[in-house]
Structure 1
Amino acid sequence: MILFPLIPAPAPITSAGMMVIGQLLGLIFLWSFVDMMWPTFLAIILFGLRAKEIYPNSWQINSIYEAGAQSFGNWIVVFALGCLILCVALEESGIIKRIVMKFITSKSARTNAWMFSFMILAATMVISLFMDCVAAEFFMLGIVHEIFDMLGFKKGDKWPKYMVIAITFTVILAFAMTPICHTSSILFMGVYSGITGQPANILGYMLIGIPIGLIIWIGMLLWFRFVVKPDISHFDTVDFSLLESKCPGKMEKKEKIVAVVSLIVLVFWLVPGFLSFLAPESAAFLLLDRLTATTPLFFAIVFLAIFRIDGEPILDLKSAFKKVDWLSIVFLAGILMIAGAMGEETTGIGAFIASVIVPLTAGKSAFILVGLIAVLSCIITNIANNIPVGIILVSVTVPIALDAGINPFLFVVAICIGANLAYTIPPAFVPIGIAYSDEWCEGKKVFLNGLVMTVISCVVLALLMYPLGNLVLGV
């Protein structure tokens, strides 16, 4: 992290770009094998020494303030904090326990441990298809953490560890499968529309993304079921009749209010995604788009903190802040600081990626070209952040597709899917950072299984992207 910037930078990467790469490599090592908290603060200090080179037009007087703005000042950190606080309200009101008890005492869940696991992951997939990945992950992890405790698992046990990883990978796959409430895909398609002047084919995207995502997801399930095979013998000792006796009774006023407020927030999260392609010019969409997903979330927190029952607030914020997982917040801050810098022109990293890709596409058939773009998107996004990777690749490859006489939107779909399948390191995608910092999980296991998921995804993308894309969109 200190000496990497002294290495001569291969053009077009700049010295500042080498600093960012050094920070990335150092943090991956320290987060995986040493500690997750203090390396982030060290990175902010070191980043601050060179931040002016990356953001030369910043209004900040001192670069360390720029480092703070790029880390703890990122909107995703604020959004994640809001999600964690709302999760505290859901937990304290008893809603999460009610959902958990309904789930774990269901007929399907009792069949066997594997069906139990599948039901959790299937529920994760369904809600993640139409919900922001960070919110979906926090919600599902809140539920499974309660399940781990109720079933008597201990931190370090294999099944909980792999359930956290599987939930994270499921959220990521769902994020890649549809653009509804999934901002990066919408952003990539916006770049495409800006270049071509053509609107994005949302339905075509989904008709390709959903089948490909489901096939990769099935591959993930088979990997965990027949290769990883986490020890689930603990389920043989679970007394479901005892669990049933602990099911909560009638909903009380506090639980009802928290449930209604949370559902309203969910509606505010979901509606803009549908309006974005049903009525993108409507006043309702423009208003909700301006509010962003964070505004209704914090309105809900304020309401729950103000509204009182028997003189007590529904949500005691002082108490809630003590229950927030601050490790996740600090971790996210470090991830986003590095990930954002990788996409800046001043680092030269994006230009370097583009210079590598363009020669690879020369003289290739449509089948090879589309598969290659999809695979490269998936590989690169696992060592760099998905947002700059997607923007760079769309900007570079759409003109290539037009020159080759191939439907450029097929390239865009390949990039939207591939660039969002980041499973390995925290700076690649926020859900991975959340898994690394989860108390029931382990960063090294996320990384190793992420490598397997990358291979599975690349194989599926290489074989199916062109045939399915050609069937839906035509070349």
Structure 2
Amino acid sequence: MKKYKTYQIVVIIIGLFLCFFGRFIPVSSGLSASGAQTLFIMVGGLLMWLLVGVDWTSLAVILALALIPELGMNKVAAGTLGNSTVFYLLLCFMLAKSLQATGVAHRLAVWFLTGSFSRKGAWCTIAMIFVSIFVLSSGLSSSSTIMIFLPILYEIFESLGYEKGKGDIFPAVMIASLAIICQIAQATTPISHAMTLIGFSSYNSYTGNNLEFGQYVMVAMPVGILTAIGWFLVCRYVWKPDVSRLSRLDYDAIKGNEGPFSRQEKIAATVYLIVVVLWLAPGISKYLCPPAYPLLNQIHQCYPPIVAIILLHFIKVDGKPVLPYKDAISAVPFSTLLFMGALLELGTALANGDIGVSTWLGDTIGVFCTGVSPFMFIVVLAAMSVILTNFMSNSVTCAICMAIAMPLSTSLYSGLISPVIAAIMITIGINFAFATAPATPPVAIAADSGWISAGRLFKYGAVAGLVGIAVMLAVGLPIANMVC
């Protein structure tokens, strides 16, 4: 059994009290008992998720929500594991397993690193490492990507004679960059990215509208690419690590004895690309080929991966399935799905008109925003999403920012700020978690690698966060205004 620290026991007691007895705490005459209970479930749940963990605490939040009279267990159960976004994420994890199981993901990483452009010089090598991390993490979870690249980077450090604990800048920059580029790429698409999908579903919970896959990517992808380029320039011209040892890097040793693409790899890669195209097609066709939009918009995001997973199970090479179903399902982190479902249902409860929390929050917070221009509100929102996510989990940051932005964009700033633009900026921002171990698992892995100190990681992450905020406002916001 897990042993909790004293402060965690205190947090558990406070969190559970708020979740189950919040309706009896006087808040405001404008908030109903169910509204108070929902509000305190959010506070208690966020406290436990942040300081205790996201295992049994998710079940506690689900139970507390089910006890709200306006909801009940049937609605809450349907809104958690029965949520289409949770099901979509499950399918993404299963499909992504095909790239890992067949070796496509590792081959792609090595191909970028050992290609002809990479061999032209040290900074060309570093650039291609960044590109390969970005490409993989845009379609795989950032945790999966970092576990693919860590052994590769460790092999590079060892071959070049670096040692842990020596304070060398080059390994520190590369380890930090692995986490930073992973997180930047995670913001660009909702494919296999739980936190990005939480942004999607939170927007749906508050507004009843869907954030389109293609619409989001058209904003987030340019922001991600330019932020990654900005970070590369910072590494080269600000941190200036000594890269002279890379001149003796043995690219052929890294490449190993990999032969040509196997049939399994070709099939897995082709199927995956087709699925991605079908995900993108509806949103992009709306702008590039409007007549095709009504037809393509009928393709629900869950249809392509379901068909793909079934096909990969029945397509056999040398008598074996390309992706056996049992292998696909083993890749699903069900604790993550349960946590995501609890958070999404909490967002639905906060937006429920019968409960009234959204209206109360809008009126309460709106008092402090009177006189603040719409542009400045977006600036504060973008900065807040990036700053908070570097000190607490992405999901907690999303819940806080959405609880502020959605009510105000539909009340005080109605007609002045599009809720979808606010949602996109928040969803991008919550993924820009780079500076501290609690921010997100990839950063925790980097912090625990032994190749970078906590202080240096914070400094690098803080600068990367500033780059991200600048690109979000200078590039993302204008594009969002055009396509939303």
- Classify the TM-score, shorter chain: 0.5 to 0.7
Answer yes or no: is the 8 Å Cα contact 2:184–2:431 preserved in 1: no
Aligned mates of 2:374, 2:79 — CA distance in 1: 40
Change (3 A) 1:115 1:52: same
Deviation at 1:99, TM superposition (A): 1.6
Superposed counterparts of 1:374-389, under 5 Å: 374-375=382-383, 384=396, 386=398, 389=401
Q: State whether structure 2 residue 429 is matched by structure 1 residue 421.
A: yes
Partners of 1:339 and 1:450 lie apart in 2 by 28
1:50 is aligned to 64
* Residues 352 and 147 of structure 1: CA distance in aligned 2, closer, same or farther (over 3 Å): farther
Residue 34 (structure 2) pairs with residue 24 (structure 1): no
Give the C-alpha shift of residue 297 in structure 1: 1.2
Name the CA shift for 1:234/1:84 in 2 (closer, same or farther; >3 Å): farther
Aligned to 2:318: 310
Q: Does 1:162 align with 2:176?
A: yes
Asked if the contact 2:80–2:344 (Cα under 8 Å) also holds between the matched residues in 1, the reply is no
C-alpha distance in 2 between matches for 1:167 and 1:274: 25
Does residue 15 in structure 1 map to residue 37 in structure 2? Answer: yes
* Residues 364-403 of structure 1: pairs in structure 2 closer than 5 A: 364=372, 368=376, 371-372=379-380, 374-375=382-383, 384=396, 386=398, 389-390=401-402, 393-397=405-409, 400-401=412-413
SS in 1 for 2:277: helix
Which string of whole-angstrom CA distances, capped at 9 and with x for unpartnered residues, describes residues 397-439 of structure 1?
3554568xxx545x8645532453114789xxxxx766478x6
Whole-angstrom CA distance in 2 between matches of 1:457 and 1:308: 44
Alpha-carbon contact 1:85-1:320 (below 8 Å) kept = yes
One-letter code of the match for 1:317? Y
Distance between the aligned counterparts of 2:79 and 2:412, measured in 1? 33
1:197-276 alignment runs, 5 A limit: 216-217=227-228, 220-221=231-232, 238-249=249-260, 251-276=261-286
List runs of 5+ in structure 1 lacking aligned partners.
Answer: 31-38, 177-181, 195-199, 427-431
Residue identity opposite 1:271 in structure 2? A
- Paired with 2:216 and 2:276, the residues of 1 have a C-alpha distance of 26
- In 2, the alpha carbon distance for the partners of 1:256 and 1:461 equals 36
Among 69, 84, 91, which residue is 1:82 paired with?
91
Report the Cα offset of residue 71 of structure 1. Answer: 4.9
Following superposition, the deviation at residue 334 of structure 1 comes to 1.7
- Distance between the aligned counterparts of 1:190 and 1:275, measured in 2? 25
TM-superposed deviation, 1:275: 2.3
* Partners of 1:383 and 1:373 in 2: CA distance: 15
1:102 pairs, out of 111, 118, 121, with 111
Q: Which runs of 5+ in 2 are unaligned?
A: 1-11, 19-24, 166-170, 191-195
Matches within 5 A, 1:113-128: 115-122=124-131
Change (3 A) 1:321 1:18: same
Q: Tell me how far apart the structure 2 counterparts of residues 121 and 82 of structure 1 sit (CA, whole Å).
A: 27
**Shift in Å at residue 268 of structure 1?**
1.5
* Cα distance change, pair 374–266 in 1 and its aligned pair in 2 (3 A): closer
Amino acid at match of 2:254: L
Task: Single out whichever of 385-394 and 152-161 deviates more from structure 2.
Answer: 152-161
Contact 2:313 2:322 in 1 (8 A): yes
1:333 equivalent in alignment to 2:338: yes
- Structure 2 SS opposite 1:60: helix
Does the 8 Å CA contact 2:433/2:440 hold for their aligned counterparts?
yes
Residues of 1 paired with 2:284 and 2:334: CA distance? 30
Does structure 1 residue 344 correspond to structure 2 residue 340?
Answer: no
Contact preservation (8 Å) 1:117, 1:163:
no
State the distance in 2 between where 1:29 and 1:337 align. Answer: 17
Figure out how many residues of one structure are paired with residues of the other and give that number: 426
Q: Is the 8 A contact 2:112 2:131 kept in 1?
A: no
Shift of 1:105: 0.6
Paired residues of 2:374 and 2:417 also in contact (CA < 8 A):
no
| Kept after mapping to 1: 8 A contact 2:382/2:472 | yes
Q: AA paired with 1:274?
A: I
- 1:288 deviates by 0.9
1:435-455 alpha-carbon deviations (Å, 9 max, x no partner): 478x66769979957666555
Structure 1 counterpart of 2:38, which letter? A
* Distance of 1:204 and 1:316 partners within structure 2: 32
Instruction: Supply the distance in 1 between the matched residues of 2:157 and 2:89 (Cα, whole angstroms).
Output: 28
One-letter amino acid of the structure 2 residue matched with residue 397 of structure 1: S
Q: Which residue of 2 aligns with 1:197?
A: none
C-alpha displacement of 1:26: 2.0
Determine the C-alpha separation between the residues in 2 that align with 1:86 and 1:231.
40
Q: What corresponds to 2:185 in structure 1?
A: 171
Q: 1:53 Cα shift? A: 3.8
Output the amino acid matched with 1:25.
L
Would you say 1:296 and 2:304 are equivalent positions? yes
Hey, what's the Cα distance between the residues in 2 that align with 1:93 and 1:450?
33
Judged with a 3 Å threshold, the aligned counterparts in structure 2 of structure 1 residues 52 and 401 are, in CA distance, closer, same or farther, namely closer
What amino acid does structure 2 have at the position aligned with 1:22?
G
Instruction: Letter of the 1:51 partner, please give it.
Output: L
Which amino acid in the other structure matches residue 297 of structure 2? L
How does the TM-score come out when normalised to structure 1?
A: 0.67
How many angstroms apart in 2 are the aligned matches of 1:450 and 1:355? Answer: 35
Structure 1 residue aligned with 2:3: none
**Amino acid of the residue matched to residue 312 of structure 1?**
K
Give, in whole Å, the separation in 1 of the partners of 2:136 and 2:286. Answer: 19
Using the size of structure 2 for normalisation, the TM-score is 0.66
Deviates more, 1:348-357 or 1:334-343: 348-357
Give the direction of change, closer, same or farther, for the CA distance of 1:339–1:283 in structure 2 (3 Å limit).
closer
Aligned letter for 1:255? Answer: E
CA RMSD of aligned residues (A): 5.2
State, as a whole percentage, how many aligned pairs show the same letter: 20
Cα distance, 1:383 vs structure 2:
7.3
2:382·2:426 contact (CA, 8 Å) conserved in 1?
A: yes
